[in-house]
Amino acid sequence: MAGHIVPALVSGYLASLLVEALLDPKPRVFWLRPLSCVALHTGVWLFWFGVGLLLFQRPFFVAAAGLAFEMLVVMINNAKFLSLREPFVYQDFEYLTDTLRHPRLYIPFLGWGRAAAAALAAIAAIAGGLAVEASILEVMRAEVMVALAGSFMLFGAAALILGDRLGPSASFDPADDLQRLGLVASLWRYWRAERGGMTYGRGAAGIPPVAVADAAMPDLLAIQSESFFDARAHFSGLRGEILAAFDALRAEAALRGRLTVPAWGANTVRTEFAFLSGLEPAALGVHRFNPYRRLARAGGRTLASALHTLGYRTVCIHPYPASFYRRDIVYRAMGFDEFIDITAFSGAERAGPYVGDVALAEHVTSVLEAHRLQSDKPLFVFVITMENHGPLHLERVGQDDAARVFAQAPPDGCDDLTVYARHLGNADQMLGLLHQYLRATPRECWLAVFGDHVPIMPAVYRLLGEPDGRTDYLLWNNRRTGAAHGADVDLAADRLAAALLGRMFAPVRPG
């Protein structure tokens, strides 16, 4: 039994290198990677083997458990790359716990069958491994085993220190880093970068300073619409009237155009933070992948805090649990006075599994009207919609859905597009209700509308082609409407707030 330790260690280590060949995109073979990357992989494996030996006293079981976890990461990586065009990064480990709290948001992209099979296999492997392989303590004194395990951990730590100091650093292009560094080394580099500090966009443009020209400050309503983009430009068979209200707003908008967003298919908070902070991804370093994990909690100037300083009441409305993405924590640090989450939508009409956009619009107008009647303070309301979140392939297509959204039916296999277009029509109804309310209210108000990313529809994209990843936006004022003063300008999401403030207030000129 004692002689099993080294074979288990070596065979497991070699297998861990071979498993990486299953990744998409595929990393370089390990002998073509920098020596530091091999050292990091070796260090992680040695350290785990030492810890596992202390915990379980079964060397082959420890090796198998390490490989099983690696295979799970590979499965998740490949599912993410298929849906989001981005491999797994260290910051995604947080979503493993979110999967337990919000399984419908994540597991369908892995596949319920594969997720269930992986869970059953893990349970069977743990139970079987512990039962079949005898404890090494039956043939080895405990102090000898502890000394061996400690040696593995010591050599593992030394390899990690060596690999960490040698470089190379991460580029924060996840596909490039995975291919260049390998799975373990790329995860390590992203972890170390996150632990290295929180520079809140040092040297970046951010939210510009503003000067209030007069006492009357307009309200601001910003709508971040889930998976919203003008799909008619890409899928010509969609009916034009599906976005009739959006077209009406766009015709009267002060500014409108395409929006370059730092997300594809998911990762809403990347676009959300870009809008609120005015910081481009390059200014965030590793925090670009999930700025709400650590960076946003450090505070910093945001659209909400800038308006709060001017005397605005700042409110976020999101019909989902406030704890998701830690918004209940970071939004206080970012300058919001109040967060209205799913608890305020008890009994609200749903469209699919989430609170519908029409019901959300009704709630938003009630908040605006209540504030108008009770306070003279200017108001900033930031709305994050949820209806069109998906997974779209879990929803059924109704009998009349295709006829309602398509002028020319797409080929078979495009049910996700039908479901998406149905929700897109509801988002348009939301905009119509808000347009109607704001035209009638006596208070001046700016309306900003933008999409956070394009939807996840890999089967549809294979058949009809992929969009370029940009969404659409518009900036509209209920007292200054008319196409004569509007402009078409394409922007990045991190420049949208600056464009908005530049029209709401006179900019402060440097010097």
pLDDT at 298: 83
For residues 152 and 267, state if they share a domain: no
Could you tell me which residues are beta bridge partners of residue 317? Answer: 340, 383
Mean pLDDT over 401-418 rounds to: 93
Residue 455 near residue 395, CB atoms below 8 Å? no
Q: What CATH number does the domain containing 368 carry? A: 3.40.720.10
Residue 417 CA: distances (Å) to CA of 197, 405, 463, 464, 508: 42, 10, 11, 10, 45
- Residue 485, domain member (yes or no): yes
Domain count, the chain: 2
- Residues 149, 267, single domain; the answer is no
3-class secondary structure, 225: strand
pLDDT in tens, 13-31: 999 999 999 999 999 999 9
Residues 293, 191 within the same domain: no
Place of tokens 């707003």: 249
> Residue 408: what are its φ and ψ, rounded to 5°?
-135, 115
Same domain? 166 vs 18: yes
Phi/psi of residue 399, nearest 5 degrees: -60, -35
Q: Are residues 425 and 476 in the same domain?
A: yes
Whether 201 is covered by a domain: the verdict is no
The dihedrals phi and psi of 251, each to the nearest 5 degrees, come to: -65, -30
Give the C-alpha separation, 103 to 273, whole Å. Answer: 24
* Core vs surface per residue 127-151: b (16+ CB within 10 A) or e: eebeeebeebeeebeeeebeebbee
Q: How far apart are CA 10 and CA 37, in angstroms?
A: 18
pTM, entire model:
0.92
Domain-embedded: residue 191: yes
Mean pLDDT, the chain, rounded, equals 90
Digit-coded pLDDT (tens) for 342-359: 999 999 999 999 999 999
Assess whether 340 and 370 both reside in one domain. Answer: yes
Contact between 476 and 503 under an 8 Å Cβ cutoff? The reply is no
Residue 68 in domain:
yes
Cα–Cα distance, 297 to 444 (Å, whole number) = 32
Question: Domain boundary at 141, 161, 195, which?
Answer: 195
- 400 is in which domain, residue-wise? 217-506
Tokens of 115: 């997720």
pLDDT of residue 253: 95
Q: Which residues pair with 477 in a beta bridge?
A: 446
Average pLDDT over residues 150-169: 95
Which residues have C-beta within 8 Å of that of residue 308, sequence separation ≥ 6? 314, 335, 336, 337, 380
Considering the domain architecture, whether residues 188 and 234 belong to the same structural domain is answered as: no
The domain boundary, picked from 165, 195, 225, lies at 195
Residue 148 confidence (pLDDT) above 50: yes
Residue 342 domain-assigned (yes or no): yes
DSSP letter string over 160-223?
HHHHHHH-PPP-S-HHHHHHHH-HHHHHHHHHHHHHT----STTS--SPPEE--SS---EEEEE
Together in a domain, 248 and 189? no
pLDDT of residue 199: 58
Predicted local confidence at residue 299, as pLDDT: 80
Integer angstrom CA distances of residue 443 from 53, 173, 218, 501: 68, 45, 7, 18
Residues 325 and 237 in one domain: yes
**Whether residues 456 and 315 fall in one domain:** yes
Of the listed ranges 348-352, 381-385, 478-482, the least confidently predicted one is 478-482
Residues 69 and 155 grouped into a single domain? yes
- Among 145, 163, 195, the domain-final residue is 195
Q: Model confidence at 478, in pLDDT bands (50, 70, 90)? A: very high
Is 451 inside any structural domain?
A: yes
Q: Are 144 and 231 contained in the same domain? A: no
DSSP bridge partners of 340: 317
Q: What is the C-alpha to C-alpha distance for residues 396 and 106, in angstroms, rounded to an integer?
A: 18
- Structure confidence at residue 511 (pLDDT): 40
Q: State CA 165 to chain mean position distance.
A: 30
